[in-house]
Structure 1
Amino acid sequence: MIHHPNKAFNSITVLIIIVLLVTVAAACGSTISMKQPEEINMADMSGHAGHVQGAGAGSPAVAASCAEMTEAPSNAPVKRFELTAAVTEIELNNGKKVEAWTYNGLTPGPELRVQEGDRVVVKLTNRDVLRGVTIHWHGVVLPCSQDGVAGVTQDAVWPGESFTYEFIAKHSGTYWYHSHQRSSQQAQKGLMGRLIVEPKASAFSYDRDYAVTLQKLEDRHVLTNGRAGGLALDAEPGETVRLRLINAYNRVQWMGVAGAPFRVVSMDGQDLNRPGLLEGQWVGIGGGQRYDLLFTMPASGKVRIYSKQEEKWSVTLGEGVEPEKLAKDAPVFDFTAYGKPKDDGITPDMNFDRTYTLKLGPVNINGNSGHQVPPLIVKEGEWIKVRFEHLVGGDEHPMHLHGHLFKILSKNDKPLTGSPIYADSVMLFEGDVYEIAFKADNPGLWMEHCHNLGHAFVGMTMMVNYEGVTTPYRVGTKSGNLPD
Structure 2
Amino acid sequence: MKHFLTLLLFLTAAHAKVVEYDLEVAEQSWSPGDGVKSVRALTLNGGIPGPTLRFREGDTARIRVHNRLKGEETSIHWHGLLLPNAQDGVPHVTTPPIQPGTTHTFEFPLRHSGTYWYHSHTGLQEQRGVYGSIVIEPKGGEPVKAARDHVVVLSDWTVENPNEVMRTLMRGSEWYALRKNSMQSLTGAIKARALKDFWERERTRMPAMDISDVAYDAFLANGRRSIQLPGKPGERVRLRFINAAASTYFYLESATGPMTIVAADGPAVRPLPIKRLLVGMAETYDVIVTVPPSGQWEVRATAQDGSGHASVLLGSGDLHPAPEIPRPDLYRMDYMMAGMNEMEEGMEMPGMDHSAMSLRGSGHGAMKHGSAAVENPRPLPPYSKLRAPESTAFAASLPRRTIPLRLTGDMERYAWSFNGKTMAEDAVIKIKRGEVLRLEMVNDTMMHHPIHLHGHFFRVLEGQGKDAPLKHTIDVPPMGRRTIEFEADESGDWLFHCHLLYHMHAGMARVFSYEEQGPDHHPHLGEHAHDPLYIMLDGSLQSHLSEGMLTLMNSRNDYFAMWDVGYGDVDETEYEIDLGWKRYFNPNFSTVLGWRFTNMEDEEDRAFAGIQYRLPYLVWSSAQVDSEGELRLGLAKALQITDRFGVFAGVQYDTGSEWEWSLGADYILNKQFSLITQYHSEYGLGGGFSFRF
Determine if the TM-score, normalized by the shorter chain, exceeds 0.5. Answer: yes
Matched, 1:220 2:217: yes
Aligned residue in 1 for 2:434: 381
- Work out which of the residue numbers 269, 284, 289 in structure 1 matches 2:283: 289
8 Å contact 1:151–1:481 — kept in the other structure?
A: no
TM-superposed CA distance for 1:311, in Å, is 4.3
- Work out which of the residue numbers 463, 466, 476 in structure 1 matches 2:511: 463
- Work out which of the residue numbers 385, 397, 400 in structure 1 matches 2:452: 400
CA deviations 1:71-120 (Å, max 9, x no partner) are x9543100001111111123544364221111111111111111111100
Aligned residue in 2 for 1:450: 498
TM-superposed CA distance for 1:481, in Å, is 13
Matched, 1:423 2:468: no
Correspondence 1:149-160 to 2 at 5 A: 149-160=90-101
Mapped to 2, the partners of 1:144 and 1:76 lie a distance apart of 20
8 Å contact 2:398–2:435 — kept in the other structure?
A: no
- Work out which of the residue numbers 269, 274, 283 in structure 2 matches 1:272: 269
- Work out which of the residue numbers 186, 209, 215 in structure 1 matches 2:125: 186
TM-superposed CA distance for 1:323, in Å, is 2.6
Mapped to 2, the partners of 1:255 and 1:350 lie a distance apart of 41
Matched, 1:344 2:391: yes
Mapped to 2, the partners of 1:325 and 1:468 lie a distance apart of 52
CA deviations 1:228-252 (Å, max 9, x no partner) are x311111000111000111111221
TM-superposed CA distance for 1:338, in Å, is 2.3
CA change 1:461–1:348 in 2 (3 A) is: farther
CA deviations 1:398-434 (Å, max 9, x no partner) are 0000000111013xxxx23795311001101112211
- Work out which of the residue numbers 284, 293, 297 in structure 2 matches 1:299: 293
Mapped to 2, the partners of 1:366 and 1:349 lie a distance apart of 29
Mapped to 1, the partners of 2:505 and 2:436 lie a distance apart of 30
Mapped to 1, the partners of 2:494 and 2:20 lie a distance apart of 26
Q: Which has the higher contact order (CA 8 A, sep 6+)?
A: 1
Structure number with bigger Rg: 2
Mapped to 2, the partners of 1:186 and 1:387 lie a distance apart of 31
Letter in 2 for 1:216: D
Mapped to 2, the partners of 1:472 and 1:342 lie a distance apart of 39
CA change 1:304–1:197 in 2 (3 A) is: same
CA change 1:162–1:445 in 2 (3 A) is: same
CA deviations 1:428-478 (Å, max 9, x no partner) are 111221111111111120000000010000000111111133889844479
CA deviations 1:277-311 (Å, max 9, x no partner) are 33xx3211001111111111111343311123354
Q: How many residues align?
A: 400
- Work out which of the residue numbers 114, 123, 140 in structure 2 matches 1:173: 114
Mapped to 2, the partners of 1:80 and 1:141 lie a distance apart of 18
SS of the residue aligned with 1:128? coil
TM normalised by structure 2 equals 0.54
Mapped to 2, the partners of 1:144 and 1:237 lie a distance apart of 45
Aligned residue in 1 for 2:61: 120
Instruction: Report the structure, 1 or 2, having the larger strand content.
Output: 2
Letter in 2 for 1:338: K
TM-superposed CA distance for 1:339, in Å, is 5.2
- Work out which of the residue numbers 197, 205, 209 in structure 1 matches 2:136: 197
Matched, 1:257 2:304: no
SS of the residue aligned with 1:110? coil
Aligned residue in 1 for 2:570: none
8 Å contact 2:392–2:466 — kept in the other structure?
A: no
CA change 1:296–1:109 in 2 (3 A) is: same
Aligned residue in 2 for 1:147: 88
Question: Which moved further from structure 2: 303-312 or 264-273?
Answer: 303-312
Aligned residue in 2 for 1:10: none
Aligned residue in 2 for 1:81: 21
TM-superposed CA distance for 1:364, in Å, is 0.9
Aligned residue in 1 for 2:233: 237
- Work out which of the residue numbers 413, 435, 439 in structure 1 matches 2:487: 439
TM-superposed CA distance for 1:374, in Å, is 4.6
Indicate the percent of aligned positions where both proteins have the same amino acid.
Answer: 32
8 Å contact 1:408–1:423 — kept in the other structure?
A: yes
Letter in 2 for 1:283: L
